[in-house]
Amino acid sequence: MVHSVYLEYAIDLGLPGLILYLLLFVGSVRSASRVARLPWDRPGARDLSILANGIRTSLLAFATAAFFSPVAYHFHFYYFAGLALAVRVIAEGRASATSPEQAEGDPA
């Protein structure tokens, strides 16, 4: 038994698998970070920003804990990665719904 998620992926999947996992992780953190920096002047943006900040914090806490625990194939990371993607999709949907083109009546 290895002592790290990163070592577990590297041993089981090789370096290409580890790199893909790290890209997925970085993409999830970036998605949550992008939403966490939304301006609060749009309707519902404050709640989404707070939620995204919590998801980002959870991902970063998992990344730290992953150095000391072999839980690579448990659902924890994938749950938060899915939430990060969902919050980004919701934020992008709200941004397109409040765009100036739709406010003027242009069908998009």
* Sign of the dihedral through C-alpha 70, 73, 77, 81: positive
Q: What is the pLDDT of residues 19-34, one digit of tens each?
A: 999 999 999 999 999 9
82 within domain boundaries: yes
Each residue's pLDDT tens digit, 48-89:
999 999 999 999 999 999 999 888 889 989 999 999 999 999
Cα 40 to chain centroid, rounded: 20
Domain for residue 87, yes or no? yes
Answer yes or no: is 108 within a domain: no
Say if residues 32 and 88 touch (Cβ distance below 8 Å): yes
Residue 56 lies in a domain: yes
Single-letter amino acid, residue 29? V
Q: Please check whether residue 58 is in contact with residue 80, taking contact to mean a CB–CB distance below 8 angstroms.
A: yes
Q: What is the pTM of this model?
A: 0.81
Structural domain count, the chain: 1
* Rounded CA separation 32/98 (Å): 20
